Structure 1
Amino acid sequence: MEKEVLITKKMSTGEVTKKYPATKEVFAKYFGKGCFDCPSFGTEDINLACMMHNTDVDKFVQELNEAAYKEINKT
């Protein structure tokens, strides 16, 4: 059975980190810890953020979803 997609590249960075705080590690891994201080963080969509940081959006979204699944499946 395939997992439901929780996060898409059209979602905003703020929407994702608010709903799934564990994804902040993925953002920091790819964009650096300073990304959370950027004025556009929270409003831009994931696709734009990845374009700005020359990051493979599909791989990035996959890792965000993995982090979100680990977070919601913690017991």
Structure 2
Amino acid sequence: MAKITKDTIIADVLKIDPETAPFFFEIGMHCLGCPSASGETVEEACAVHGVDADELIAKINM
């Protein structure tokens, strides 16, 4: 699997590994198919949702 970073677009994360969706749902990111997910990085989305991007990235890349 490709390494996911804070700069990775959410839609790309889901293309690389669709099984990451539950991580986003757990932190309140429920609109994974909306336009924001197509242009928003993991870091940007985490900032909007008040989540530590480094913690999310660590979980995704386990």
Q: TM-score range by the shorter chain?
A: 0.7 to 0.9
State the Cα distance separating 1:60 from its structure 2 match.
0.6
Q: Distance in 2 between matches of 1:60 and 1:51?
A: 12
Query: SS at 2:32's partner residue?
Result: helix
TM-score scaled by length of structure 2: 0.85
1:10 counterpart (7, 10, 18): 7
Larger radius of gyration: 1
2:37 matched to which residue of 1? 41
1:24 matched to which residue of 2? 21
TM-score scaled by length of structure 1: 0.72
Q: Which runs of 5+ in 1 are unaligned?
A: 67-75
Number of equivalenced pairs: 61
1:70 matched to which residue of 2? none
Q: Report if the CA contact (8 A) 1:13-1:42 is conserved.
A: yes
Give the 4+ runs in structure 1 shifted more than 6 A: none
User: What is the percent sequence identity of the aligned residues?
Assistant: 31
